[in-house]
Structure formats: C-alpha cells, structure tokens
Amino acid sequence: MKKRSISVFLGLGLVVLGSLWLLQRLLMPKYMGDIVEGALISEYYKETTDHDVIFVGDCEVYENFSPITMWEDYGITSYIRGSAQQLIWQSYYLLEETLKYEKPEAVVFNVLSMKYDTPQKEAYNRMTLDGMKWSKSKVDDIRASMMEDEEFADYVFPILRYHSRWQELTSDDFKYLFTKRPVSQSGYYMRIDVKPAQTFPKPKKLANYEFGENSWKYLEKMRELCEEKGIQLILVKAPSLYPAWYDEWEEQIKEYAKTYELPYYNFLELTDEIGIDFTQDTYDGGLHLNLSGAEKMGAYFGKILRDEFQIPDRRADETIASAWAEKCAAYYDMQKRQQEELDTYGYLKMFNSDKE
C-alpha cells in the first residue's frame, strides 16, 4: 500500500513538473518571427569549435561585423555575443561566461553601451538574459540588470513572466516548442535589404557627458578579466550614424585606452577607408549596416586583427574548417533566401510579417 502511494505521488509529481515545463516552453517567446534578436544569445551554446576573437556588445556588433568574411578572407574564427541594447555589465557577464568555455586571443568590445549606466528596459533584459545558461555569471547579470518592477523569481521560472502570453500564442510557438532554427551565423544578424542613410536630427545637448560610475566599473572589470586571462582587449566604435556618438564620449574612451594602452578603433572616422557607402551599405537608414556593409567591415577589421594582433589563420585545421564550412553554407543559404524574398516581395517578408 505504502509502495503504491509513493508511486502515485511520484507519478503525479512527474505530471506536474512535465506539464509545467511544457507550458513554460510554450509560453516563452521564441523570437523566430519579426524580432529574432532574443534568440541570439542561446545560439552560442551550439558552437562546436573555439574562437580566436569574441565580440561583445549591442546591435552595433551583431549587425555590423561579418565573422564569415573574416573567416573566408583571413581564416579568423570569431563569434559575436551580442544582443539588443546589451548593457555593458551584460557584455561583461557574457564575456565572463564565455571564458569558462574557451580562451580567445582577443575580445572586441563596442563602446556605445558605455552611455547607459542603469538598467533600461525589461524587454531587452529578457532578450539578453533568457538565452543564457544558468551559471554564477547569469545570476550576477540578472541582479545587475533588473529594473525596479522585476523579480528574480521571474528569471528562475520564466513562466511567471510570460504567463500572459497565452493570448498571443502563434503557430511559431508550437512549431519551435522543442527546437529552434538558427537565426545568426556566428552571432551575426544578416540583413541584405537597403535603405539609404537619412538625415538624423541634430544630437541633443546633454546635461552631463561623463560616462556613469557603473559603466566605468564594468569596463574596468572587463579590462582586468582580459588582463588576468592574457587576452587582448580591443575597444571599437562601430560605424553607425545614429544614435549620436559625442566628441566628449570619444575623448573619454581615448583617454581610457591611452591610460591602459588598449587599442581603440572608431570606425565612424574610418568609413571612407573601409569603403562604406551609406546609400548602399545600411538597411535602416544608417543605424545598422546591411550584409554589404558588414562584409566590408569584416574585411577591414579582419586585416587589422591579422596584422596588428597576429590572430592566426585556422583554415588549415580540418575540424575548424569543416565547422566553418557549415557556417558558410548557412550564411549563403540565408543570403539566398533573403534575396529571393526581396526579389519576390520587394521587402524581407521574414522580418516584416505585419506587411502581409
């Protein structure tokens, strides 16, 4: 009798846990439709080979650099650990986590996120944090990122956060219940469409141009972490025309780089040399580069990485070459699919379902 009771109890427990797990998976956003940025972070865990270069930062890294070009041109293996409005502490903790899996030669950090000293938006937090595997880095990242109205428990049990999505479920939620399709190639988010750069409003005058204490703290932590691990930290400012990058900010970064002898590249000042044409190389009017622009950036920066930092050419390594061959195939396949959509509809349907 007692044995039977234990079996029943265990059976019901399994039903409860199984159904809750299933419900949680169903209700969590899949980021497979218009907004795929939320799926970027988790894709890293599917990588089979190590990387020599790790990018961390916001949309200015995952939309502006093509790792495939860097591989094809220079044999550089790289991965972009970026997500939408990724704050500097999120970049730091993602880097900390990445270094538990591998030890790259160089880490590239895009400095735009220095402008944010406090958590900004819950939706962006979730896009960065939900995809991370559980680790101390994730816990610290959540604690650093939570907005006032957020609860830690909502990250531990995402069903508590997404329970109200039952009203918004689409076929994608069922289709990608257990497996998702890849949305990036080595963390790069591809867009092949073109929308020439527009005129942006004159940058607003700021009351204070000093980067915040928190931003400096995490930049410092990032520098120390790289130093401790013997990794070259490279600071960059991607060539996005908007949001504004102020001269005062530029000076502070330059000063910091000089103090700690860190390389710093402001690609906004190098667009002519790179060959970026903002009438052709951006898909959203100058905020982010399209594939053509990202490939130009990849070619240009890849050369710097090879020549200035001696990042090795791994094309002779069969295992790595085979893994990257698959990535290249996926890259060109995505390019082809986007081109077909562009030819058929005149826009990228996969990112604009509302136009249907």
Partner 1 sequence: MLFTSYGFLAFLAAVLILYYTLCRRFQWQLLLAASYLFYYWSGPKNLIFIMVTTVTTYFAALKIGHYGEISAAYIKENKAKLTKEERKAYKAGMKKLQRKWMLACLFLNLGILAVLKYTNFAIANINFFLDAFHVGEPISFKNMILPMGISFYTFMAVGYLVDVYRGKYPAKRGLFSFALFISFFPQVVQGPISRFDDVSGDMWADHKFDGKAVSFGLQRILWGFFKKLVIADRILTAVNTIIHDPATYDGIYVFLGMMFYALELYADFTGGIDITIGTAELFGIHLKENFHRPYFSKNIAEYWRRWHITMGTWFTDYIFYPISVSDPMLRFNKFARRHFGEYIGKRMPVYTASAVVWFATGIWHGAAWNFIVWGMMNFVVLMVSQELEPCYKWFHKHFNVNGTLWYKIFQIIRTILLMSALRMFDCYRDVSLTFRMFGNMLVHSRIPQLFDGRFQTLGLAAADYLVLFIGLLILIVTSLIQRSGSVREKLAAKPLIVRFACWYGLFLAVLIFGAYGVGFDSSQFIYNQF
Report the interface residues with partner 1, using CB under 8 A.
8, 12, 16, 19, 23, 27, 122, 149-151, 153-154, 159-161, 163-164, 166-167
Nearer to partner 1, 50 or 122 (CB): 122
Nearer to partner 1, 16 or 329 (CB): 16
Q: How far is CA 117 from CA 111, 140, 179, 214, in A?
A: 13, 16, 35, 5
Place of tokens 């559980």: 134
- Please name which of 199, 187, 195 lies closest in space to residue 293, comparing C-alpha atoms: 195
Least CB distance to partner 1 at residue 96 (A): 26
Nearer to partner 1, 12 or 177 (CB): 12
**What angle is formed at CA 70 by the lines to CA 267 and CA 114, rounded to 5 degrees?**
35
Nearer to partner 1, 29 or 82 (CB): 29
Nearer to partner 1, 164 or 344 (CB): 164
Least CB distance to partner 1 at residue 248 (A): 35
Sign, CA dihedral 39-42-48-51, equals: positive
Sign, CA dihedral 84-85-91-94, equals: negative
- DSSP element (H, E) containing 56: strand 53-57
Nearer to partner 1, 163 or 336 (CB): 163
Least CB distance to partner 1 at residue 160 (A): 6
Nearer to partner 1, 18 or 182 (CB): 18
Least CB distance to partner 1 at residue 214 (A): 23
Least CB distance to partner 1 at residue 322 (A): 44
Residues facing residue 266 across a β-bridge: 237
Least CB distance to partner 1 at residue 153 (A): 5
Q: Examine residue 239 and say whether the peptide bond preceding it is cis (omega within 30 degrees of 0).
A: no
Q: How far is CA 114 from CA 40, 75, 210, in A?
A: 21, 31, 10
Given strand 106-110, what is the order of strands in its sheet?
A: 78-82, 53-57, 106-110, 232-237, 264-266
Q: In the chain, what are the helix, strand and coil shares in percent, each to the nearest 5? A: 55, 10, 35
Least CB distance to partner 1 at residue 174 (A): 16
**Size (the chain), residues:** 356
